[in-house]
Structure 1
Amino acid sequence: MFSESAQPFDLSATDRVTAYGAKDFPGVEAMLPDSAFLAEDDGRFPADVVLLFVATAADLAHELATAAAAVEPGGSLWVCYPTADVDGGAPDLNRDTVASLFEANSWEPVGDAKLSAEWSAVHGRPAES
């Protein structure tokens, strides 16, 4: 099935999961379900749940549209980022920054989670028209 650490993503056993950026951060693959597809840059890999791993607000602004386009109707997107307490964590990236970028891209934040001591995430879905 999937590892305990994947539980914060509210995944079901049938969810198709695509992760963007996970290859760039050692150790985050342990947070992913075994069935997750690790996407290459600039590809679109449709899924019920898309996980986007980024380190800075600039990375998020650049990658958000690609990840959001991969979310199937009725699906959701998790933006995962290192906490500011971690060496190398970006102080410009936090749940408020993610929420603001979601809203600027017609998405709405619906929750957040602490994934580990080093990673946090904001959960979003397309905004209703």
Structure 2
Amino acid sequence: MPSESAQPFEISETDRVTVYGAKNFPEVAGLLPDSAFLAEDDGRFPADVVLLFVGSAADLAHDLATAAAAVEPGGSLWVCYPTAEIDGGAPDLNRDTVASLVETNDWEPVGDAVLNSQWSAVHGRPAGK
């Protein structure tokens, strides 16, 4: 059975999970499934489920293509963003802005989730799939 933290991401025991950006946000460690591979910046690590943690719209615009390229056919992408203040700055991301950026990169937002009191996520799949 997947860990409780994996539930919002719809991760099964057999899914390969790659995570981008989590090293920048140590507070999200409890949200990650035990089997997750923490990717280095700009690497491509193919997975069934890719989690991308971003702190700003600029981070998302910069990192989305790398994370999306790591999603294997039939897989999915979760873009995780802060819904609360981080490091004293107000977040410039919300469900609508994340979904819009995901769409402009040929992905279809198919859902969203509240991960905890500080983080939410938009779930995407390749457009037309």
State TM-score, norm by structure 2: 0.93
2:11 maps to 1:11: yes
Q: Give runs of ≥4 in structure 1 deviating > 3 Å.
A: 84-91
For residue 93 of structure 1, give the secondary structure of its aligned residue in structure 2: coil
Residues 82 and 90, structure 1, Cα contact 8 Å, conserved in 2? no
Aligned-partner Cα distance in 2 for 1:92–1:113: 18
The alpha carbon displacement at 1:92 in A equals 1.7
Aligned-partner Cα distance in 1 for 2:3–2:89: 25
Aligned-partner Cα distance in 2 for 1:119–1:12: 21
Q: 1:80 matched to which residue of 2?
A: 80
Q: Among all aligned residue pairs of Structure 1 and Structure 2, give the percentage whose two residues are the same amino acid.
A: 81
Distance 1:90 1:50, change over 3 A: farther
Aligned-partner Cα distance in 2 for 1:21–1:55: 9
The alpha carbon displacement at 1:30 in A equals 1.3
Gaps of 5+ in 2: none
Aligned residue pairs, count: 129
State TM-score, norm by structure 1: 0.93
| Corresponding letter in the other structure for 2:60 | L
Q: 1:111 matched to which residue of 2?
A: 111
| Corresponding letter in the other structure for 2:127 | A
The alpha carbon displacement at 1:89 in A equals 5.7
The worse-fitting range, judged by mean Cα deviation, of 27-36 and 62-71 is 27-36
For residue 27 of structure 1, give the secondary structure of its aligned residue in structure 2: helix
